[in-house]
Amino acid sequence: MPQLAPHIFELLHQQGVQHSFGIPGDFALTLYDALAESEIEPIVMTHEPCAGFAADAYSRIRGLGLAVVTYGVGGLNMVNSIAGAYAEKSPLVILSGAPGVKERQYHDLLHHKVKTFDTQRRVYEEVTLYSTTLNDPRTADLKIHRALDYAMTFKRPVYLEIPRDLVYAEIEEVEHRPPPIKRTDANTLEEALTEILAMLERAKSPVILVGSEVHRFGLQSQVIALAEKLRVPVCSTILGKSVFPEAHPQYIGIYNGEAGAPYVRNTVEESDCLLMLGVFMTDVNLGMFTAHLNPSCAVYATSERVAIKHHEYPHIRFEDFINTLSNNCNLPHKNSSTIARMKPRVAPSPGKISMSGLLYELNQFIDSNTLLVTDVGDVLFAADDIQTREGSSFLTSGFYASMGFGIPGVIGAQLADPFRRAIALVGDGGFQMTGMELLTVKRLGLKPIIIVINNGAFATLRIMGHQDADFVKIASLDYAQLAFVLGGCGFEVQTGQELREALSLARERDTFSILDVRISADDVSPALQRLSALFAKKLKG
């Protein structure tokens, strides 16, 4: 009979999980013993929130991630980053050690306990799709398979709590696994496709808008094939950035409501057949309430629902929908000659470096072997004008928008795909939250390039009408010197030429590099300039 924790680790390894992220603690020590005996390498981080961010990024690339923490102080410390993973639709498994079953019976006041022994699990019910305690060897395997099904089907986190006296308990394997959480009904799918094909035949200006679920399900090639058959313009949301090759002749840029480029906005909002594939309908993702999308002209497909105009089509799996649509032989061909390709709103900086100049140099530097991770703030909005290449990937906390994602996120991304060079674009505020995780980077021998926007402020808050407020100012730091203290290389950057040279040198270094880019607090990206103007207009209105 299989043993509980070893069985879980074996199942996860079969799904492609090769690393876990977390910090051991006394209630999880036996769990870590089992982890160390498995084929999954434990990555010990400096802080539990960073473990959650790293597992989130890892899961987006690998299709599944793993975080292993101790009870109470460990699990509850990681709740924020797991909430972000839920909001961003990242499929990861949280394993938490816990007091033993017998301990709970005889010792009510065990350390790390909050209110009841079930407090942590109940908290995780709010930030995961499935949450349970594996306290019965007879039902454990059923719960494990159910959790993995939820994570893989809906690309959301799931939580399994393991009492420490059951880590090696022998469990009963289920003879017949439970039916899938969601299955495609063939008749429903056929009816949906019939309606879509009729819309496409009538349409004069169809457009494809892609989101991050296309990446989560590994459906990029199918969407490219669909676009090329239809010969229509393609754009993405900020969360879907890099899902579609940005150098492709049909790609026109990021749709971000009124905060985005006018050509992209008009193309999307005037479309008479908008295919929204894997798109999150969030404020940050769609121009902070400035998106004007007509549902009567839209097809909306995600892992949770498929809707065409005002019709709902239940019981269709997202991957089945995309695969069937892209393989359809009756797709109409449109005229692609009028499509205008993406044009970043940036220019080189002849003297002192600016945000526009930084983005220009970054666009020249990025190649197909790049993993780009951004933190939150202007570095997130700036991604509107970063042009990734085919084969490159972009990760951020674009909906939940939790600062501190950048550095641990680049660790998870680099371990998930060690064959590409990782770049983290972070503000100085975000860096000060999780930058010490570079100690983990050094220990693991990773070589990311960390670009720190050093402007001494929370620039996004500052430009929203609080330029003189003390609470938007942050402590200054010499990040280039800090790099050497932590075991890496540092470069102070004040001009466009210095940035170009630093990027070239950092690429050749055998360790991580910090590029300390000194930018004025008044200097923000084109996207944030536009967004701040919209906010000012809204406030006046």
Q: Domains in the chain and their CATH numbers? A: 4-166 (3.40.50.970), 186-326 (3.40.50.1220), 355-540 (3.40.50.970)
Q: Please name the residue that has the structure tokens 């210095």.
A: 498
Angle between helices 355-365 and 496-508 (to 10 degrees): 40
Q: What is the pLDDT confidence band of residue 334, given thresholds at 50, 70 and 90?
A: confident
Instruction: Give the pLDDT confidence of 123-163 residue by residue, as tens digits.
Output: 999 999 999 999 999 999 999 999 999 999 999 999 999 99
Minimal CA–CA distance to 158: which of 182, 135, 124, 181?
Answer: 124
Q: What is the pLDDT confidence band of residue 377, given thresholds at 50, 70 and 90?
A: confident
Whole-number average pLDDT of the chain:
90
End-to-end CA distance of the chain: 67
Give the pLDDT score at 456. 65
Q: Can you tell me the distance from the alpha carbon of 318 to that of 321, in angstroms, rounded to the nearest whole number?
A: 5
- Point out the least confidently predicted range of 9-13, 142-146, 232-236, 339-343: 339-343
Instruction: Give the pLDDT confidence of 152-202 residue by residue, as tens digits.
Output: 999 999 999 999 999 999 999 887 777 888 999 999 999 999 999 999 999
Which pair of tokens denotes residue 507? 């690429």
Strands 311-312 and 306-308: antiparallel
- Point out the least confidently predicted range of 170-174, 385-389, 410-414: 385-389
What 3-state class would DSSP assign to 334? coil
Which pair of tokens denotes residue 11? 């199942």
Minimal CA–CA distance to 479: which of 488, 471, 470?
Answer: 488
Q: Can you tell me the distance from the alpha carbon of 456 to that of 477, in angstroms, rounded to the nearest whole number?
A: 9
Residue 193 · residue 199 · CB < 8 Å = no
Contacts of 40 (CB under 8 A, 6+ apart): 9, 12, 13, 17, 18, 19, 20, 66
pLDDT (average), residues 371-395: 87
Residue 291 pLDDT exceeds 90: no
Please give the C-alpha separations between residue 502 and each of 132, 349, 422, in angstroms, as whole numbers.
49, 15, 15
Q: Which residues pair with 374 in a beta bridge?
A: 425
Is the alpha carbon torsion for 458, 464, 467, 472 positive or negative? negative
Q: Which residues pair with 425 in a beta bridge?
A: 374, 451
Minimal CA–CA distance to 124: which of 71, 87, 79?
Answer: 79
CA torsion, ordered 415, 421, 424, 425, to nearest 10 deg: -160
Instruction: Give the pLDDT confidence of 501-534 residue by residue, as tens digits.
Output: 999 999 999 999 999 999 987 778 877 777 777 6
Angle between helices 79-87 and 48-62 (to 10 degrees): 30
State the DSSP H helix or E strand holding residue 436, giving kind and residue range, or none if neither. none
Which pair of tokens denotes residue 275? 């295919």
Q: Which residues pair with 28 in a beta bridge?
A: none
For residue 100, count CB atoms less than 10 angstroms from its CB and return exposed for 0-12, middle for 13-18, buried for 19 or more.
buried
Q: Which residues pair with 518 in a beta bridge?
A: 454
What 3-state class would DSSP assign to 346? coil
SS (H, E, C) 373-395: EECCCHHHHHHHHCCCCCCCEEE
Angle between helices 48-62 and 406-416 (to 10 degrees): 40
Give the pLDDT score at 389. 82
pLDDT (average), residues 87-101: 93
Give the pLDDT score at 76. 95
| More confident: 99 or 68 | 68
Q: What is the DSSP string of 401-424?
A: --TT-HHHHHHHHHHH-TTSEEEE
Residue 523 · residue 456 · CB < 8 Å = no
At residue 313, what is the residue type? Answer: Y
Phi, psi values for residue 379, rounded to 5°:
-65, -25
pLDDT (average), residues 41-70: 97
| More confident: 382 or 424 | 424
Give the pLDDT score at 416. 96
